[in-house]
Each structure stands twice: as structure tokens, then as C-alpha cells.
Structure 1
Amino acid sequence: MKKRKIEIAVISDVHLGTLESRADELLSYLSSINPGKLILNGDIIDVWQFSKRYFPPSHMKVLRKLISMASKGTEVFYITGNHDEMLRKFSGTSMGNLHVVDKLVLQLHGKKAWFFHGDVFDLPIQNAKWLAKLGSYSYYLLILVNRWANWVLIKLGKERYSLSRKIRKSASQAEQYTQHFEESGVRMAIEHGYDYVVCGHIHQPKKQVHTTKRGSCTYLNSGDWIESLTALEYSFKRWKIYRYKQDKLLPFFVDEELKEMDINELIASISAPVEKKNKDKESID
């Protein structure tokens, strides 16, 4: 089936390996697009809560899909976050179209875009990781309770309700934290001459232009694939927030090779073009 062609797609905070990750919905989204670049802006795999006992087929299909997209020509950038920080030791590594980085800068039609996860602005994570992990577990427990409550509401014919979103909106400290996070990113971006600053981490999708005495910058946040189910898309010199729950997906079928192709075959398919290029170069020399 025909897929939407877009220049750049940005997703973050998928948290594969946890009960809360909405892997099926993400797989549907990825199967509906054909991006030139796909930026995974941190916390794709949740190493903090990773367990060999829980990594369902739908989560593995997402990984296979990402590798398959890279093998078919999409340039995939995996930007490390705090929940997948163990991958930072591989920063700077490339395998075909798949690149592991800590941050990324792109030129977009004469404007500079700065991509990074955003945990550098989170003092509890930098100074007390055990406290941050405790807060993360509490958040996911709240999500599980919310899922059970929503199951009951749906059975009763009522609309879903987000407990975590309600708590965030009612807590002034949470609002202050979000505002500080956004302002910190914008301030640093303006100081370094970036036109866009693109983050994840706080699970709140947003697009807003900030203007200060020192300049202006567009703040963008890709949200998450736990509650918001959102992505950022760039095409025709414009950014938009894609919302899975509201925007219509084109009809599609999940790629058939994902059902059959082994993960090692997918990795090999990425490496093949690079190896061929190196052999051709050697033969010329």
C-alpha cells in the first residue's frame, strides 16, 4: 500500500521492554510512512526496567521494523536518552544507515535544527539516579492503574481518562518543571544559533516559537508512545505534530518480511551496501 513520504520523522520515549509501551500502535505508524530520515530521540528501549522475561513479539517487531527501514534507505539516527544510556558507549558508531549519537544537528532549508533527548536538563537524573528511577517506576504504576480504570470506563460506555495528565496539570511544581525544561532548551539553542530545538524526555508533545532579546527559536517535543502516541514530522519546510489518536492512517499492511526475516538477516542487509562499497573502493585502489 502507498505510504506517506516525509522528509523527517521524530519519535521518542517508546520504552520498549515495559508493559506500558504501545508498540502495536507505533508499528502501525512506522508502517504508514516512508521518511528520508528517522530520528529516534531517546528512551526507545527502557534499560532501567528491562527484563528477559518481558519483551513481547510486538516490541521485537518494532526493532525489526526500524532495522528494515534503515536497510531500505531511510537514514536512522538513534539518539541516546537516560533510559537507554548504556548505548552511549556506542555513540559515534554507524552501521550502514543506522547511526548511534548523543545529539544531532541538521541543516533544514537554511535553518539549523538541534536534536537531543533532554535529560541533561533534569537535575534529579544527573544528581540522584536512584530517585529518578523511583519516580519512573511510580509513573508506570500509575499508567497501569489508569489502564485498568479505562477498561472499566469503556465497558460502561464512557470516555477514557488520563490520571497522570490530570496530576501533571494540577501540580504547580510539574508545570514549573516543564516550563523550566522548555526555557532551558530554547535559551541554549538561541545561544548556539539554532533555529529549532527538538527534544523528548518529558512525554509532552509541543510546538511553540519563543522570542527573546537574543533571538528566536522554535521549541519542539515529540511526546511519547505510552500516552500521547505522537511524533514530529518535517516536510515542505514545516514541522507538525502527528497524533496517532486523531490523525488518520492510510490503509496499509505490516511489511510481510517482518514475519519471516530473522533479526540477523535484517542487520546483514544494512551492512551489505557498506561492505560492497568498501570492496569496490579496494578494487579501484
Structure 2
Amino acid sequence: MDLKRKVEIAVISDVHLGTYGCHAKQLLTYLNSIQPKKLILNGDIVDIWQFSKRYFPKPHLKVIKKIMDMAADGVEVIYITGNHDEMLRKFSDMTIGNISIVDKKVLDLDGKKAWFFHGDVFDVSIQNAKWLAKLGGYGYDLLILLNRATNWCLEKLGKEKYSLSKRIKNSVKGAIKYISDFEEVASDLAIENGYDYVICGHIHQPKILIKENKFGKTMYLNSGDWVENFTALEYQFKRWKIYNYNKDKLSPFFADEDIKEMEIKDLIAAITIVEPEKKKKKKLN
């Protein structure tokens, strides 16, 4: 019996594969629990800014393998580029099988227009001072590492986990204003262009809300992240909802058996392998 939940669209963003803050095991569990028609990767999936050959563990490779397997099984995978994976923008509008790479995407959902993009275009710190934004990224990663150590101690003491970064964000007025401005600008642009939904990532703040101005209204949605919040967006039966991993019980879906048993070298080979037929064609040419 197939226990996977069928959803029309699943949206994930800000996974940051290749960093210490990424929770790849939890994401893999989630991906194994759903059967979407479309999987939208809304930016910052692989963190190319902070990519290091020394750190790309097995669970991170498993996530890439799982996404590729989903595409091979007929799921339409739409990779929308973000700022941490902006190097992929040189491949924008490229399609390989069921996987496409784009900078933004507009979809018709049951007669309503949905506008998907990562959201870094609104971030002045990235546009005007990229080196400063990258420095902030390393600081954030260090904070996540510190947070993991703190939570390990709290768990040993039988106490509830604590998010340092969320605490800092929620207590700094500048951060609160930035998030509010981001939501306002995205929503105003969506209303101006006649979009019923505007779906972003980037700011690691999962949210669904109706935004209205004198010109009209739109639904603003943010998929959050897989560093602190473990959230995704799902569209089914003409409705959107925020999926929260921490509020779900997904133990049966830890990993597909074939992926679970694979060694790192096998995972790398599965991701990068060239089929023999393709090799033969290259030799003939």
C-alpha cells in the first residue's frame, strides 16, 4: 500500500546543501513522504557561496539523488535560482528531461496566476555589497553550529530545543522591518502585475497571508527553510498550506531503501553517471 501523500505542488527553498546548518535527513524524510506532480525548488538549494569539498556529507548527496529520482519517475522539477546558487543563472531556461532551471516561474493554478521567485532581487545588501552579504552568510553558519551544540546539551538535560538565530531575528527591530518590507514589496508587485499568488523564499520566514492595497489584493506565501523552520508549501484541492516537519510524524519514510544502503561513491556515481549509450554516441561523433 502506497502511504505517500499526493499533492499537486510542493515548494521547498533555502535548503543550503553543503553547509553545517542544513538538515538534509529531515528533508529527505519529507520528500519520501509525498508524491507531487510538481516539485518547485525555490532557490538556495545547494549553497554554492559556502561550498567546500571538505563538507558535503552523505545525507546531502541523498537529497540530490532523491530529487533526480523523482524527476525520473515523472515529477516535474522546477529549479528556481537564488542568491546562494546564483551560478546556476547562466543555465537559466535550460531543460533536461523533467528538470528545468529558471529565474522565475508563472503557473496557472485552477484559473489563478501564481508567481514564483526566490526573492533576493529585493535584498539591497546582496545587490550592492555582495561581499558583505557573503560574510553575513558565514556568520549565520557559525551561529547555526553554535546552536546545534547548545541544543545537544539541552537534549541531554531533557529540555526543549532553542533557536538562537530565530530569537535574534525576532528581537532585532531592523530584522523585523526588513521582513515586513520584503513582504510588502513582493505583494505590491504581484498586485500591480495581476498575480493572485506570490510565492517566495529567501528570508527563512514561512508564512501565508492576504496582502491588500488600493489597487487590489494577493496572497503572499513563503516556504521558509530547512535550516531552522523545516517547512514547505503544498498546493492541493485549490488550497495552499504550510507543511511543518516538526509537527508531523514521518518515521516510516526515513529513506527509500535503495538510497539508504548506498555508499557515498555509489551516490556520486548515481548523480553524475553517463549512460553507456550516450558514451557510444559521443565516440561516433
- TM-score after normalising by structure 2: 0.91
Give CA-to-partner distance per residue, 1:184-215, whole Å, 9 cap, x none: 10011011100000000000100001111101
Residue 182 in 1 paired to residue 183 in 2?
yes
Size of the aligned set, in residue pairs, is 272
Residue 96 in 1 paired to residue 91 in 2?
no
Give CA-to-partner distance per residue, 1:105-163, whole Å, 9 cap, x none: 00000100000000000001000000101111111111111111111111111111111
Unmatched 5+ residue regions in structure 2? 279-285
Residue 56 in 1 paired to residue 69 in 2?
no
Contact 2:28 2:254 in 1 (8 A): no
Query: Aligned residue for 1:257?
Result: 258
Instruction: Give the Cα separation in 1 of the matches to 2:74 and 2:83.
Output: 28
Residue 165 in 1 paired to residue 169 in 2?
no
Query: Aligned residue for 1:46?
Result: 47
3-state DSSP class of the match of 2:101? Answer: strand
Query: Aligned residue for 1:115?
Result: 116
CA gap of 1:204–1:267, structure 2 versus 1, over 3 A, is same
Root-mean-square deviation (Å): 1.9
Query: Aligned residue for 2:206?
Result: 205
Contact 1:17 1:54 in 2 (8 A): yes
Query: Aligned residue for 2:246?
Result: 245
Unmatched 5+ residue regions in structure 1? 276-285
Give CA-to-partner distance per residue, 1:54-91, whole Å, 9 cap, x none: 11111000000000000001000000000000000000
Give CA-to-partner distance per residue, 1:228-262, whole Å, 9 cap, x none: 00000000000000000012337335223334575
Instruction: Give the Cα separation in 2 of the matches to 1:2 and 1:263.
Output: 29
Contact 1:67 1:267 in 2 (8 A): no
Match of 1:127, as an amino acid?
N
Matches within 5 A, 1:141-156: 141-156=142-157
Contact 1:41 1:200 in 2 (8 A): yes
Instruction: Give the Cα separation in 2 of the matches to 1:191 and 1:139.
Output: 34
CA gap of 1:263–1:55, structure 2 versus 1, over 3 A, is closer
Query: Aligned residue for 1:279?
Result: none
3-state DSSP class of the match of 1:26? Answer: helix
3-state DSSP class of the match of 1:137? Answer: helix
Query: Aligned residue for 1:282?
Result: none
Give CA-to-partner distance per residue, 1:23-70, whole Å, 9 cap, x none: 000000000000000000000000011011111111000000000000
Query: Aligned residue for 1:2?
Result: 3
Of residues 5-14 and 136-145 in structure 1, the stretch that sits farther from structure 2 once superposed is 136-145
Query: Aligned residue for 1:75?
Result: 76
Instruction: Give the Cα separation in 2 of the matches to 1:124 and 1:137.
Output: 15
Contact 1:71 1:269 in 2 (8 A): no
Match of 1:222, as an amino acid?
S
Instruction: Give the Cα separation in 2 of the matches to 1:23 and 1:72.
Output: 21
Contact 1:2 1:252 in 2 (8 A): no
Instruction: Give the Cα separation in 2 of the matches to 1:187 and 1:269.
Output: 46
Match of 2:116, as an amino acid?
F
Residue 127 in 1 paired to residue 148 in 2?
no
Residue 26 in 1 paired to residue 27 in 2?
yes
Match of 2:34, as an amino acid?
I
Instruction: Give the Cα separation in 2 of the matches to 1:133 and 1:253.
Output: 33
CA gap of 1:268–1:94, structure 2 versus 1, over 3 A, is farther
Contact 1:32 1:250 in 2 (8 A): no
3-state DSSP class of the match of 2:252? Answer: coil
Residue 65 in 1 paired to residue 66 in 2?
yes
Shift of 1:21: 0.4
